[in-house]
Amino acid sequence: MLQIRTVIADALRIDEEVNGFLKYCANYEKIVKKITPSGFVEREQDQPLLVMVFEYEEKFNCSYEKDKD
């Protein structure tokens, strides 16, 4: 099943946040299908926030072992 995750961070931290989510996907066997920059969230102070959208799904292991008699 396709899942969506949104990552929001300021420009100085977006790489760290994206890499952190990619490591999470690798550790929990999730397959990232698509990463899309979605836009900016303006703030009155500080830098704007960047929005990244990830589409990912579970990695399914369809193999099975036959029970030994």
Tell me whether residue 8 is in a domain: yes
Domain membership of residue 64 (yes or no) is: no
Q: Classify residue 68: in a domain, yes or no.
A: no
Residue 50 CB neighbour total at 10 angstroms: 21
Residue 36 lies in a domain: yes
Compute CA distances 44 → 23, 29, 38, 51, whole Å.
32, 39, 20, 17
State which residues form the domain around 28.
2-58
pLDDT band at 63 (very low <50, low <70, confident <90, very high): low
Q: What is the pLDDT of residue 22?
A: 95
Left (φ > 0), alpha (ψ -120 to 50) or beta: where does 55 sit?
beta
- Taking residue 54's Cβ as centre, other Cβ atoms within 10 Å add up to 19
In a domain, 67, yes or no: no
Better-predicted residue by pLDDT, 56 or 65? 56
pLDDT tens digits, one per residue of 37-60:
999 999 888 889 999 999 999 887
Q: How many domains does the chain have?
A: 1
How far is the C-alpha of 6 from the C-alpha of 27, rounded, in Å? 19
